[in-house]
Amino acid sequence: MVYHDLCRKKKRVILQFLEIVSFSALTLLYAKGQEPVDTIQENLAAMDGKLNSLDERVALQESELGKLAKIKVSGYIQAQFQAYQSGSLKTDKDPKNTFFIRRARIKFTYEALDGVKFVLQPDFSTGNLSLKDAYAVASLPKLPSLSLWAGQFNRPNYEVEYSSSQREVLERSRVILNVYPGEREVGARLEFNPVKIPLKLQFAVLNGNFTGNQQKDVDTRKDVMARATYSLKLTGAGIGIDFGAHAYTGGLMAKNRYLLDYENNMDSTESNAGSYLLKQWGGLEVQVFYDFLGGMALKGEYLAGKNAFAGDSESNPNKIKSFSGYYIYLIKNIGIRNQLVGRFDNFDPNTRLSGNAAGNDIYYNTLTLAWQHYLNDNIRFSVSYEMPQNEKNTANPDDISDNIFSVRMQARF
Amino acid sequence: MMAITAIIIITSAFVAPVKITVKGSDTMVILAQRWAEIYMKKNPEAAIQVTGGGSGVGIAALINGTTDIANSSRPIKTTEVEKLKARYNTLGVEVPCAKDGITVFLHESNKIQQLTLQQLSDIYKAKVTNWKQLGGEDAPIKLYGRENNSGTYVFFKEEVIKGDYAASCQTLPGTAAVVNAVKKDKYGIGYGGAAYAEGVKHCKVSLKTGSAGVLPTPETIANNQYPITRYLYLYLRTRPAGDLKKYIDWILSAEGQKVVTEVGYFPVK
C-alpha cells in the first residue's frame, strides 16, 4: 500500500508539473505574444527535457521500491502477568507471580514471485532466543494449488498451525503440547489446496525429533505425517463445518539398551540398543462455526497412539507410551471486540496404566476460561484462568493446586 | 403538553445517528455512493460513509473491524474466509448486489473489433505483443490494467489471463484511469467495469476462435452470453440486523436495483 501511495504521489507530482508547464507556456504566449515563436519552442523543449528526466527518475525509484514491496514484516509481542498456585512451583521459594514476555516475534516474508516465498521468524521471548520458522515455499506456475515447503515449519495439525496471536486460549492444549513439542519440525512438505474445492491435503517428511531447539536428525529414518481437511458450508443457516484427520508414523532409535516399556517395566535387553521405537498415532478434528447473534464456534480434536522418548542412561531410560487426549473449545463472540471462551482438555500420557500403577503417568483434565478484548486490530487483552485436575493415586493422593491466572496484552503489527 | 415536548426533545437527543461505513471496490464506488446518497435522503438519521481502495482493502477492513460493509468485485478468497473464522467465528455473509461485464477497451481508431479469451490471455501475458499479430496495425500493444488490490485485477487474472500479468502492464488506480489512458493511447488496451467506458471502443469478446464475438450489453450480461461477466458483492461479518439489514434490504429492493441500472450495471433481481 505504501508503495502504491508513493507511486500515486509521484504521478500527482508529474501531473502538477505538467500543469505548471502548460500554464507557463500559455503565460509566455500571452505575455510575450510578440516574441519570436522560436523562443517559446526552445522553452518548451527545455521543459520537455526536464520532464523526461523527472520521468526517468520516477521510473528508477518505482523499480527500487518494487523490490522493497516484496518484503513484508509482521510480528507480535505478548507481555504477560501470571499468578500461580503453590502446586505449580518447583520449590516454595519460587515466585508466585511474575511479569514476562511470552512471545516477541518478527516475521520476515520475502515474496520473490507469485507462489514463491521465504519466511524467517525469530522469537525473543523471556529467557529464550530461538528460530521459530525458517522455510521456503514454492508452487509451480502450471499448478499453483500444489506447493512445496522446505525448512523448519509448523507440523500439519489444527491447533499447532493456529497462530498464538489468534488463539482464544493463551496456551495450546496439554495433548498437543506433549505430542508436538515446539510445534515445528524440520523437513519437507507438500500441500495441495485447490482454489475451487474446499479441500486441503498436507504431506510431510520430517526429522521427527524436534523439541523446541534446532538440531539435525538423530537417526536415519524419517517420520511421515499426513493431514486432510474438508470445509462444508451451509450458507443459508450461517454454518460452516471443517473436519479432517491426520496421521503420524515414524520412529526413534534407542541409543542404549535401557527401555521402559508400555507397562513401565524396565527392559535392559542388549538388542534394545539400536532398535527403532515406534511413534504412531492418528487424530480426528472438527470445527463448527455458527453465525448466531454474532459468531460462535465449537472446535475439537481427539488424538491417540503410541509415542517414544529418547533416554540417555539407566536412570533416564528410553520410554514407549500409549497415549490419548482431546480438547474442546466453545467460543462466543460478543460484538466485534469481545470473545468469551471455555476449553476443556484431557491428556492421558499412559493409557495402559491407571491408578497406583500409573505412578506419575497420571491423566489431566483441564478447564480453562478466558476472555479476549480487542481494543483494535493491533491490540488484544486476554484474561485466562486455567484449572487442571489430575488423576489421583498413591503417588498423587490429592488434586495438585496448580491453577494459573494470566493476563496478557498483545500488540500485533 | 410541555412535558410531552420535553420528553420528545430528550428522547430525540439520545437517538444516535445510524452510521454505516462502506469500503472496498473502486469499480463499485460510484454505485455505492449513489445508493448512500439516495438512502440518506430518504432516511435522514442514516450516515453512510463510502470509500474505495479496492476489493482487497475493503475485505481487509471488514476483517479488522473498520468497516461494516466491504464492497468487492470478486468473490471472497478462502484465505480471507479463514481470517474471518479466526477473528469472528463466522464465514462472512455474501450478498450479490449487481452484475457487471468486464469490458475490454481499445482506442477508437483501433481496427480490431473482436478478440477471443485466448487472445486476451496471450496479450496480457505478453505472448502477443504487436497488433499486427491480431490483424491490426504494425505497432506494439500497450497494456493497461488495475492495481493488485483491485477485485477487477484479480477477476481478470483468474478468469481471463489464467496466469500472471506481463511485467509491461501499466497498473492504474481505478477503471476511470484505465479508460483515460486508452483514450489517449492509440495502441493501448485496457479493461474495467462497463459503467466507466466513455470515449473508448468496446471490443467484442468471443469464447474461442470461430465463435461470434459478443459486446457487453444489458441483455448479454444478464443472460451470461458475454464471456466476461461477474457479480458484484457486498460482504458482511455476520448476518445483518437492525439498521444494517434495513440498508441491505433496500439495496436489494426494486428501488435499490434501479440505481444499479442507472449507474450502468445490471440488477440481480
How far apart are alpha carbons A245 and A226 in whole angstroms?
8
Nearest CA distance, B175 vs chain A (angstrom):
15
- For B173, which residue in chain A has the nearest alpha carbon? A8
Task: Write the residue in A1, A141, A333 that is nearest to B89 by C-beta.
Answer: A333
**Statement: residue B5 has pLDDT above 70:** no
Query: Tens digits of per-residue pLDDT, B58-101?
Result: 999 999 999 999 999 999 999 999 999 999 999 999 999 999 88
CB pairs under 8 A between A and B: 64
Residue A38, burial from CB neighbour count under 10 angstroms (0-12, 13-18, 19+): exposed
Asked whether the predicted pLDDT for residue A109 surpasses 60, the reply is yes
pLDDT at residue A244 in the model: 98
Taking CB atoms and an 8 Å limit, are B85 and A294 in contact across chains? no
Kindly determine whether residue B85 and residue A297, on different chains, have CB atoms separated by under 8 Å: yes
What the block records as the C-alpha cell of B61 is 477492513
Angle at B93 between CA B83 and CA A196, to 5 degrees: 65
The DSSP symbol for B45 reads T
**Average pLDDT rounded to a whole number, residues B98-115:** 92
Q: What is the dihedral of CA A306, A312, A315, A321, to 10 degrees?
A: 0
Contact A147, A163 (CB under 8 A): no
**Cβ(B61)–Cβ(B23) under 8 Å?**
yes
Q: Please give the Cα distance from A13 to A21 (Å, whole number).
A: 12
- Average pLDDT of span A29-49: 71
Question: Which residues on chain A are in Cβ contact (under 8 Å) with B94?
Answer: 235
Cα angle value A160/A126/A88 (rounded, 5°): 75
Whole-number pLDDT of residue A11: 55
In this predicted structure, what is the pLDDT of residue A40? 82
Percent of chain A with pLDDT over 90: 64
Mean pLDDT calculated for residue range B123-145: 94
* Option in B89, B147, B158 nearest A295 (CB): B89
d(CA B42, CA B15): 17
Q: Distance between CA atoms of B124 and B153, rounded to whole angstroms?
A: 12
Q: How large is the average pLDDT for residues B254-265?
A: 91
CB-based contact B238 A297, cutoff 8 Å: no
* Contact flag A337-B65 (C-beta cutoff 8 Å): yes
pLDDT at A27: 58
Q: Which residues of chain B neighbour A289 with C-beta distances below 8 Å?
A: 85, 89-91
ipTM of model: 0.81
Interface test mutation site (partner A, options B91, B158, B233, B245, max chain A beta carbons within 10 A): B91
B16 has a chain A CB within 8 A of its CB = no
CA atoms of A171 and A157, how far apart (whole Å): 15
Distance CA A105, CA A71 (A): 16
CA A356 to chain CA centroid, nearest Å: 38
Q: Residue A27's closest CA among A11, A13, A43?
A: A43
B107: cell is 482506442
Decide if B91 and A114 are in contact by the 8 Å CB cutoff. Answer: no
Sign of the torsion formed by the C-alpha atoms of A168, A171, A176 and A180? positive
Q: Does position B10 have pLDDT exceeding 60, yes or no?
A: no
Cα–Cα distance measured from residue B199 to residue B193, given in angstroms and rounded to the nearest whole number: 14
**Cα separation values, B214 from A200, A386, B117, B206, Å:** 38, 65, 11, 6
Q: For chain B, what percent of residues have pLDDT higher than 70?
A: 92
pLDDT at A12 over 80: no
Q: Which of B115, B183, B191 is nearest to B156 (CA)?
A: B191
Q: Do B238 and A295 touch (CB under 8 A)?
A: yes
* Mean pLDDT taken over chain B: 89
Across B165-183, average pLDDT = 90
Put simply, the answer to whether B163 touches A141 (Cβ < 8 Å) is yes
In angstroms, the separation between the Cα of residue B81 and the nearest Cα of chain A is 11
Nearest by CB to residue A166, choosing from B66, B86, B173, is B86
User: Mean pLDDT across chain A, nearest whole number?
Assistant: 89
Pairwise CB contact (< 8 Å): A374 & B91: no
Q: How far is B61 from chain A, CA to nearest CA, in Å?
A: 10
- In this structure, is the dihedral angle defined by the CA atoms of residues B151, B154, B157 and B159, taken in order, positive or negative? negative
Provide the shortest C-alpha distance from residue A297 to chain B (in Å).
6
Q: What does the pLDDT average to over A333-359?
A: 94
The three cell numbers locating residue A45: 523543449
* pLDDT reading at B9 higher than 60: no
- Residue A294 to residue B164, Cβ atoms within 8 A: no
Q: What is the pLDDT of residues A343-353, one digit of tens each?
A: 999 999 999 99
Contacts with B55 from chain A: Cβ below 8 Å: none
Chain B from 136 to 155: CB within 8 A of any A CB: 147, 149
Q: Cβ of A291 and B238 within 8 Å?
A: yes
**Residue of chain A with shortest Cα separation from B79:** A195
> In this complex, is the C-beta atom of B66 within 8 Å of any C-beta atom belonging to chain A?
yes
| CA dist., res. A284 & res. A157, Å (int) | 10
pLDDT digits (tens, 9 = 90+) for A205-218: 999 888 877 778 88
Asked if the model's pLDDT at residue B153 lies above 70, the reply is: yes
Q: Do A377 and B64 count as a contact with CB atoms less than 8 A apart?
A: yes
Indicate whether A357 pLDDT > 50: yes
Closest listed residue to residue A113, CA positions, set B75, B167, B81 = B167
Within 10 angstroms of residue A184's Cβ, the number of other Cβ atoms is: 25
Query: Distance between CA A334 and CA A295 in Å, rounded?
Result: 8
CB–CB of A289 and B90 under 8 A? yes
- Residue A255 grid cell: 541409543
Residue A238 reports pLDDT greater than 80:
yes
Strand, coil or helix: B243: helix
Residue A378 has pLDDT above 50, yes or no: yes
pLDDT band at A18 (very low <50, low <70, confident <90, very high): low
A166 contacts in B (CB within 8 Å)? 86-87
- Helix/strand/coil for A86: helix
pLDDT number for residue A20? 63
Tell me if A204 sits within 8 A of A185, measured CB to CB: yes
Where does the pLDDT of residue A25 fall: very low under 50, low under 70, confident under 90, or very high at 90 and above? low
Q: Distance between CA atoms of A269 and A264, rounded to whole angstroms?
A: 15
Q: What is the mean pLDDT of residues A45-62?
A: 80
Pairing of strands B170-172, B142-146: parallel
* Residue A98 to residue B267: CA distance in whole angstroms: 61
Q: What is the mean pLDDT of residues A309-315?
A: 90
Residue A242 banded pLDDT, cuts 50, 70, 90:
very high
* Cβ pair B89:A331 closer than 8 A: yes
C-alpha distance from A278 to closest chain B C-alpha (Å): 35
* Residue A223 to residue A314: CA distance in whole angstroms: 26
What the block records as the C-alpha cell of A123 is 522469537
Strand locations in A174-238 (E): 184-192, 199-206, 223-234
Residue A46's pLDDT band (cuts 50, 70, 90) = confident
- With 60 as the cut, is the pLDDT of residue B7 above it? no
Q: Say what percent of chain A tops pLDDT 70.
A: 91
pLDDT of residue A4: 46
B216 Cβ partners below 8 Å, 6+ apart?
B101, B102, B103, B194, B202, B205, B226, B228
Tracing cell 448476518 back to the chain, one arrives at B239
Longest dimension (CA), chain A: 112
**DSSP assignment letter at A354:** -
Minimal CA separation from B49 to chain A, in Å = 19
**Higher pLDDT among residues A9 and B171, named by residue:** B171
Task: Considering only residues A59 and A10, tell me which one the structure prediction assigns the higher pLDDT.
Answer: A59
Report pLDDT digits (tens) over A263-299.
Answer: 989 999 999 999 999 999 999 999 999 999 889 999 9
Question: Grid coordinates in use for A180?
Answer: 508436538
Give pLDDT, residue B173.
85
Q: How confident is the model at residue A98 (pLDDT cuts 50, 70, 90)?
A: very high
Mean pLDDT highest for which of A327-341, B158-172, B211-225? A327-341
